[in-house]
Amino acid sequence: MSKRVRGFTLIELLVVIAIIALLLSILMPALQRVKKQARAVACVANLHQWSLIWKMYCDENDGYWLSGAGGGSGRWWFVPMSELYHEESKIRTCPEATKALGAGVHQGIGYWSNQAWQTGEYIGSYGPNGWMCNPRSTGNAGVWGRSPASDHWRTPNVRGAYNVPLFTGSWWVDAWPRETDQPPSIIGGPPDRPNQNEMERNCVNRHDGFLNALFCDWSVRKVGVKELWTLKWHRSYNINGPWTRAGGAMPDDWPVWMRNFKDY
């Protein structure tokens, strides 16, 4: 007489499925956090590679930065620098910036991509501090209309280099921030306004209220979006300007999307 093999009942199967679903609901947020942390680490690794690239350039250029002369819209830096990094787009792009600007992708998270004015497959999500340029003119003529020339650092070998941004997370190819620049009213900001409110280009919330930045002492660290206004972008930049706590900025002065970010 054969023995009857007892299988799972429908209730038992539903209980097992419910337990699995519960475990997944608990584990998924943790896995997402781990993924975000891994992408942030990869972003920092990219910038460490850039610290070597920029240092090599400056060492070979008598300690000076790029002049800023050359093609506009970023070609002044990523074309001449391509000889040092062989046009590898991966190190130009933060792993959190997974889509190109446009088609519903706002400036705060997207990467800049090849446009009609660009040649080759240039994409990226980092940009240099344009005030680092070494203008050929010693008068009032600045770089791409950003003046005076005396505000440009010209070299990374400067006093307080740990607080002078060199290369940061950005949604555009370069930026010349000023302490009076207003924060963007919405994440990603309005359409780009060259030579106006260029701090907007650096206001990228890629790492939970932070972005990563390379400084003139060749260090890399994360920077709060609000903290951007406290960095020494150019020689006469006031680090206690109107958008800092020391300059009198109040929590309600910031746009809604930035109010919960850490104050500096």
Q: Mean pLDDT of residues grouped by 10 in the chain (264 residues)?
A: 62 79 74 73 92 92 90 82 70 78 51 49 83 79 82 94 95 92 81 84 88 96 94 96 91 89 83
99-to-24, 88, 108 alpha-carbon distances in Å = 27, 17, 11
Q: Are 184 and 255 in contact (CB under 8 A)?
A: yes
Q: What pLDDT is stored for residue 177 in this prediction?
A: 96
Domain boundaries along the sequence of the chain: 13-258
Distance CA 91, CA 41 (A): 13
Residue given tokens 């008068």 in the structure block: 139
Global pTM reads 0.82
Please, which residues bridge with residue 146 across strands? 143
Q: Nearest-5° angle of CA 33, CA 39, CA 44?
A: 125
Omega before 190 within 30 of 0, i.e. cis:
no
The sheet with strand 165-169 has its strands ordered as 126-128, 165-169, 210-215, 220-224
Q: What pLDDT is stored for residue 158 in this prediction?
A: 94
Q: Which residues contact 202 (CB under 8 A, 6 or more apart)?
A: 127, 168, 169, 170, 175, 177, 211, 228
Q: Are 127 and 77 in contact (CB under 8 A)?
A: no
Q: What pLDDT is stored for residue 212 in this prediction?
A: 94
Q: What pLDDT is stored for residue 116 in this prediction?
A: 38
**How many CA atoms are closer than 13 Å to the CA of 122, on its beta-carbon side?**
22
